[in-house]
Chains A and B, each alone.
Chain A
């Protein structure tokens, strides 16, 4: 038990304690509400019943509503169907990684040299990360139209999602070891893909471009438009070089009819365009269509960078500017040169939020930034310069990552993106750092002895359990939880409805798979009593089966003429011919045969049927399973057989057996717990008389 926390302390409700979020619960009832009822349904769904105070005036009013609240940590950005696709799709990468982890673990037991942080392991994690990432939508592969519209500067990407953006961050920083050397450039790419996600809360470079794109068609002399230059500079600041060059080439001086008059001007535009497209980049490669020159090694990059900067500086000081008559072009181009020279003021003015400024710093002011510590310092500086109006979940995550605080990263994943994200991101996190590995696998008393990794998997499994279409994949995550997974799986299975056979079979299959015998036998007992016998047999519930057998004896023992004979005959048939499932049932089988023969005799069929009935009677009386209280009813039913007119049907041996049983019965009647059969009072004596007569007749016959 956790001893060190403040036992019995009142949870502080001072001003600083955070207030919980209050969500409206819409029920559509007219007030007054008299009471509420609550009940957890499957997984994370809570059902709230709202009862209305009945009023006298109206007759047909509603008395209450039941409302379901699903606490699944979903934000509505992604549709239900898409979520299920992601949930199902992530099962196999997750399971594959677990099985690889297990085989790695067993390998490292053999040789201490193998550690899960081996190169090979990284590749597995990266493969996993890419598999997951591909489920979240394809960001980069946009189909390009055959005829390219020169005025379409901004390609219409499929709507990017915050979830995908978050996953890419995790992948870049933790899973992809190769990208560690060029993290700033990866962030440049990342912002290019996801800058639009910030547009909903504030202006972004992306939203500026989108706005300008709309105006573009109607603009006659584009270079006269101040917005043209502003938008280009902004795009340049965040490194969207291809867009900037494309926009530059829309400059009026390129038009054939003007080329003669505006030669110098055009030369300057083209010079800037060339400088932009030759920008040295510290990265292994660039996607097709993206501009810049890649350098893998830092010394080569530095050399190229210096040279490039020298060229810009040279152009900046050149005399051609004086000959450029178009004022906007001159100012606009020189502004762009200032950006490339890393003028802080210009960068700060042209970017909208801190992340854009941050990227601009990487590109033009501190291109040699390496290491998370300096990246974190720079981020703090940019946040200072451009404070966020409202916090954004992606920014929270990025700050956590840069701050190298695993707990914050986890919390941001969980808070911002929900249980699916955190469960799957943990795999990437633990592979990325020993600190995370320790933190996530440490068993905590406060969590009832489980690790954080297990906690998050349990929470995710609970979310999966809430939906009838996803509960079936919850066991995969639960079985990866060593301590409490099975406990929750049992609960989950127990709470599945069993009135539907298909579902029940699925349920049993899961039980078989995970060897949950006690659960399967329990759930087989649910539901309607009548349909239960088969399942009880499957569950090997001897106690209940014997009770059923007893009940049937009671109803069966009364009379052979009963209408319900057909009913229980069918029921016995249903029980199958397997002997030994329960002693009582074996007796019922024989008893059925016996009664059937007796019925045939009554219906007029003769000696053969009678002989069969005698066979059955003898085997019943011999069988130790036959309850003693049935002996007399059986014999009483057989009076006709014992007094068979044509000839005695029982031989001496058989008659003696029955007489012995009768004797035993007479002694048993003296015991207090004896149950008297529901028969006429003279039943015993008439049986005794019949047996004595039969003995006489058969003795005579045998002689």
Chain B
């Protein structure tokens, strides 16, 4: 009449109880990116041959580039919708578009396209009276012998700057002369990504480069960015933080984000975290050894360099890292790479970095 329980194994029960408590203790080390509900889903469908994409500052417009040189712009009908459709297509180049980057919103709706022949084109959305929206070429940065590998825009209190990294290991910084006209750019500086500014590496051949501006938008914020190369010239590879020295009107390397033994490692990607109030900066650098998290001091030391500390080396993607992006609070790093996964990384309360979740694309 009464159901009997199976005989108890008191040891087993005790082990389980201990396990429960230990698990609770472990979780006390805290993961704040806690249970992840994967909601949302499909928001846009891209055309055949699409090679690259980029969302604008507010995530309301998507620009994509394709193998046949077509630039497509996707919009959503209203800000609360998350369904995007392609409203405009423009052929911007005869060859393929390899990368699209939006110009910061203060300077209008415009994108920079890196094309397969190595050229860099700026296309802008123009509204002219009584005419539909149009995308027009406003600037072409031509280069005969070298190719543009990466380009990123930085906003300072006074102007818009553009950094382009080239296949010969050169870096060019352009400045927009007139905040209203995206046509007029002046070459502000040209240098190589080496701490030693005297030696020139003439025969450098670079496969890829990654640039990330310090995303801070303060009034008194100077300009700085981090840059690393994937090249055959060891001195150019390691990521360096470049800062603009207003007094002498020049760019200076203020930090090198590589331990002495890792300096020649090819860099796949760099990402400078947003800082909403930390006393130090956080920068992620991906090499074939993994993803390193660096803390960079805010104030220069006596020799003008910033103090740096490598706080973690994460296992990464077991190969090339394609892209790294920090979230809006600068605490979660999203990465993707040749293992075809998206991974999220965070530091716990004890400052130990670890992978918190991974996403595997499935059909």
Contacts and interface: CB of A to CB of B under 8 A. Distances in A.
A23 B47 contact: no
Given A42-B59, A61-B48, A63-B49, A8 B39 contact: no
B360 A446 contact: no
Nearest to B44: A66
Contacts of A448: 277-280
Interface in A57-101: 59-76
B145 interface: no
Contacts of B335: 38
B327 interface: yes
B312 interface: yes
A37 B53 contact: yes
A156 interface: no
A183 to B, nearest CB: 20
B12 interface: yes
Contacts of A39: 54-55, 59, 325
Q: Is the interface of A mostly helix, strand, loop or mixed?
A: mixed
Interface in A6-51: 7-11, 13, 17-18, 20-31, 33, 35-51
Interface stretch (B1-9, B113-121, B146-154, B189-197): B1-9
B351 interface: yes
B342 A462 contact: no
B106 A38 contact: no
A526 interface: yes
A125 interface: no
B94 interface: no
Interface residues of B, number: 122
B51 interface: yes
A317 interface: no
Interface string B1-36: 111110010101110110011011111111111111
Interface in A499-522: 499-500, 503, 518, 522
B94 to A, nearest CB: 18
B334 A66 contact: no
Given A13-B315, A411-B24, A548-B180, A494 B53 contact: no
Given A27-B361, A335-B2, A42 B43 contact: no
A414 interface: yes
A230 interface: yes
Given A383-B16, A491-B328, A415 B41 contact: no
A405 B276 contact: no
A367 interface: no
B27 A391 contact: no
A495 B25 contact: no
A547 B32 CA distance: 47
B309 A7 contact: yes
A51 B46 contact: yes
A669 interface: no
B311 A2 contact: yes
B35 A75 contact: yes
A2 B282 CA distance: 12
A527 interface: yes
Given A25-B359, A35-B322, A391-B23, A5 B351 contact: yes
Given A26-B362, A71-B36, A411-B24, A62 B80 contact: no
A370 B275 CA distance: 48
A488 B328 contact: yes
Given A73-B37, A530-B127, A65 B44 contact: yes
Contacts of A592: none
A63 B13 contact: no
Contact of B58 (A391, A488, A497): A497
Given A1-B309, A415-B31, A20 B356 contact: yes
Given A49-B46, A68-B40, A543-B179, A40 B219 contact: no
B21 A73 contact: no
A484 to B, nearest CB: 4
Given A2-B311, A11-B315, A45-B40, A408 B25 contact: yes
A526 B41 contact: no
B278 A414 contact: no
Contacts of A9: 312-313
A348 B328 CA distance: 52
Contacts of A386: 13
Nearest to B327: A40
Contacts of A528: 108-109, 125, 127
Contact of A11 (B31, B278, B353): B353
Interface stretch (B60-68, B199-207, B228-236, B247-255): B60-68
Contacts of A588: none
B163 to A, nearest CB: 20
B313 A8 contact: yes
Given A391-B23, A405-B28, A20 B355 contact: yes
Given A63-B49, A385-B8, A462-B327, A449 B277 contact: yes
Contacts of A691: none
B33 to A, nearest CB: 6
Interface stretch (A296-304, A396-404, A601-609, A616-624): A396-404
27 contacts: A1-B307, A11-B314, A18-B26, A25-B359, A26-B41, A26-B363, A36-B361, A37-B322, A66-B44, A67-B40, A67-B41, A68-B41, A69-B38, A74-B37, A387-B17, A407-B28, A407-B30, A408-B27, A411-B27, A415-B27, A415-B34, A465-B328, A487-B275, A487-B276, A491-B276, A497-B60, A547-B179
Given A27-B362, A48-B359, 10 more contacts: A27-B361, A63-B50, A64-B53, A388-B16, A399-B20, A399-B24, A449-B279, A500-B78, A547-B179, A547-B180
Interface of B: 1-5, 8, 10, 12-14, 16-17, 20-21, 23-55, 57-60, 62, 64, 66-67, 78-80, 82, 84, 105-106, 108-109, 125, 127, 129, 178-180, 217, 219, 259, 274-280, 290, 295, 297, 307, 309-315, 322-323, 325-329, 334-336, 340-344, 347, 349-363
